[in-house]
Amino acid sequence: MNNVVSLPLPATAARPATPPRLALLGTGNVGGAFVARCDALRAAGVPLPAFAWLSNSRALDPCSDHIPERALERLRAAPARQGPWSPWVEAEALRRGDILVDASASDLVAGWHGEWLARGIHVVTANKLGNGADLLRAQAIVRAQRDGGARYGDSATVGAGLPLLRSIRELVAGGDRIHAVEGVLSGSLGWLFNHYDGERPFSDFVREARDAGYTEPDPRIDLSGEDVRRKLLILARAAGLSLHPDDVRVESLVPEALARADAVAVDGLLPSLDVPLRERRRQAERDGARLRFVGRFEADAAGGIVADVGLRALPADHALCGGSGTDNRVAISSDRYREQPLVVQGPGAGAEVTAAALLDDVIRIARLPQESRAPSSSKPSGA
Ligand SMILES: NC(=O)C1=CN([C@@H]2O[C@H](COP(=O)(O)OP(=O)(O)OC[C@H]3O[C@@H](n4cnc5c(N)ncnc54)[C@H](OP(=O)(O)O)[C@@H]3O)[C@@H](O)[C@H]2O)C=CC1
Ligand SMILES: N[C@@H](CC=O)C(=O)O
User: Tens-of-pLDDT digits for all 383 residues of the chain?
Assistant: 333 222 333 334 344 568 899 999 999 999 999 999 999 999 999 999 999 999 999 999 999 999 999 999 999 999 998 776 788 886 768 999 999 999 999 999 999 999 999 999 999 999 999 999 999 999 999 999 999 899 999 999 999 999 999 999 999 999 999 999 999 999 999 999 999 999 999 999 999 999 999 999 999 999 999 999 999 999 999 999 999 999 999 999 999 999 999 999 999 999 999 999 999 999 999 999 999 999 999 999 888 999 999 999 999 999 999 999 999 999 999 999 999 999 999 999 999 999 999 999 999 999 987 656 554 433 344 44
**How far does residue 121's CA lie from ligand 1's centre (Å)?**
20
What is the C-alpha separation between 43 and 40, in angstroms, rounded?
A: 5
Residues 305 and 326 in one domain: yes
Residues 225 and 245 in one domain: yes
Residues 70 and 194 in one domain: no
**How far does residue 266's CA lie from ligand 2's centre (Å)?**
18
Residues 336 and 368 in one domain: no
**How far does residue 349's CA lie from ligand 2's centre (Å)?**
5
Would you say residue 80 lies in a domain?
yes
Provide the ipTM: 0.99
Contacts of 135 (CB under 8 A, 6+ apart): 237, 242, 243, 244, 245, 383
In whole angstroms, how large is the CA radius of gyration of the chain? 21
Most informative mutation of 127, 162, 188 for ligand 2 (most atoms within 8 A of CB)? 188
| Marked catalytic residue, from 231, 290, 292, 329 | 231
DSSP H helical ranges for 196-333: 202-211, 220-223, 226-238, 256-260, 266-269, 274-286
Coil, strand or helix at 174: coil
Count how many domains the chain has: 2
Residues 129 and 215 in one domain: no
What is the C-alpha separation between 341 and 299, in angstroms, rounded?
A: 15
Residues 357 and 226 in one domain: no
- Tell me, yes or no, if 231 is annotated catalytic: yes
Terminus-to-terminus CA distance in the chain, angstroms? 17
SS (H, E, C) 52-92: EEEECCCCEECCCCCCHHHHHHHHHCCCCCCCCCCHHHHCC
Would you say residue 267 lies in a domain?
yes
Most informative mutation of 29, 85, 104, 191 for ligand 1 (most atoms within 8 A of CB)? 104
Residue 104: CB within 6 Å of ligand 1? yes
Residues 82 and 194 in one domain: no
Residues 239 and 121 in one domain: no
- Global pTM value: 0.93
**How far does residue 105's CA lie from ligand 1's centre (Å)?**
4
Residues 203 and 316 in one domain: yes
Of 93, 24, 15, the C-alpha closest to 60 is 24
Would you say residue 383 lies in a domain?
no
Would you say residue 70 lies in a domain?
yes
Paired strand residues for 24: 54, 101
Q: Is the four-CA dihedral 312, 314, 318, 322 of positive or negative sign?
A: positive
**Is residue 326 classed exposed, middle or buried when 0-12, 13-18 and 19+ CB atoms within 10 A define those classes?**
buried
Over the stretch 18-27, which tens digit does the pLDDT of each residue have? 889 999 999 9
* Ligand 2, atom nearest to 185 Cα: 8
Would you say residue 381 lies in a domain?
no
Contact (CB, 8 A) for 150 and 374: yes
Residue 169: CB within 6 Å of ligand 1? no
What is the C-alpha separation between 196 and 279, in angstroms, rounded?
A: 12
What is the C-alpha separation between 48 and 39, in angstroms, rounded?
A: 10
* Ligand 2, atom nearest to 186 Cα: 8
CATH of the domain at 269: 3.30.360.10
CA neighbours closer than 13 Å in the CB half-sphere of residue 28:
22
What is the C-alpha separation between 51 and 91, in angstroms, rounded?
A: 13
- List the domain range (segments joined by +) for residue 97: 2-161+352-373
Residues 181 and 244 in one domain: yes
Residue 108: CB within 6 Å of ligand 1? yes
Would you say residue 380 lies in a domain?
no
Residues 134 and 251 in one domain: no
- Which contacts (CB < 8 Å, 24+ apart) does range 16-20 have? 16/96, 16/97, 16/370, 16/374, 17/370, 18/95, 18/97, 19/49, 19/50, 20/49, 20/97, 20/98, 20/99, 20/122, 20/365, 20/366, 20/373
CATH of the domain at 361: 3.40.50.720
CA neighbours closer than 13 Å in the CB half-sphere of residue 36:
14
Would you say residue 205 lies in a domain?
yes
Amino acid present at 206: V
E strand or H helix at 24, and its extent? strand 22-25
Over the stretch 222-233, which tens digit does the pLDDT of each residue have? 999 999 999 999
Residues 22 and 138 in one domain: yes
How are beta strands 152-153 and 342-347 bridged, if at all? Answer: unpaired
Would you say residue 218 lies in a domain?
yes
Coil, strand or helix at 129: coil
What is the C-alpha separation between 215 and 210, in angstroms, rounded?
A: 5
